[in-house]
């Protein structure tokens, strides 16, 4: 059984536009959309910052996890966010 809340917000909004009677019939479509979305992320074909196609030249390990980006700007932008969130989580643990 697919969990509707796992779909990206954009897809959830599109599904809400359909007739309520058709939603049970959308179960198969939602499942397929979720699988395709997860496959793109797992295979690393999308930039985790802007969701554009990645370039293997912009691969970097940040806090022991491998990330692949589409450009230097996305790499810089997401890296700063990841490190900031990591520092914030450490400060919350120390409280």
Give pLDDT tens digits for 62-95: 888 888 888 888 888 888 888 898 888 888 777 6
What pLDDT is recorded for position 42?
66
Domain ranges of the chain: 1-43, 45-95
What are the Cα distances from residue 2, in Å, to 35, 36, 52? Answer: 10, 13, 26
What are the contacts of 72-79 at 24+ separation with CB within 8 A?
Answer: 74/47, 74/49, 74/50, 75/49, 77/49, 78/48, 78/49
Calpha distance 49→76 (Å, rounded): 10
Give pLDDT tens digits for 22-61: 667 777 777 888 887 777 666 667 777 777 788 888 888 8
């Amino acid at each position: 059984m697919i969990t509707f809340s796992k779909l990206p917000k954009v897809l959830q909004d599109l599904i809400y536009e359909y007739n309520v009677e058709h939603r049970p019939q959308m179960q198969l479509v939602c499942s397929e959309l979720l699988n395709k979305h997860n496959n793109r992320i797992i295979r690393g074909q999308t930039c985790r910052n802007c969701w554009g196609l990645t370039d293997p030249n912009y691969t970097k390990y940040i806090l022991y996890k491998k990330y692949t980006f589409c450009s230097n700007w996305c790499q810089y932008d997401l890296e700063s966010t990841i490190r900031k969130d990591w520092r914030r989580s450490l400060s919350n643990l120390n409280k």
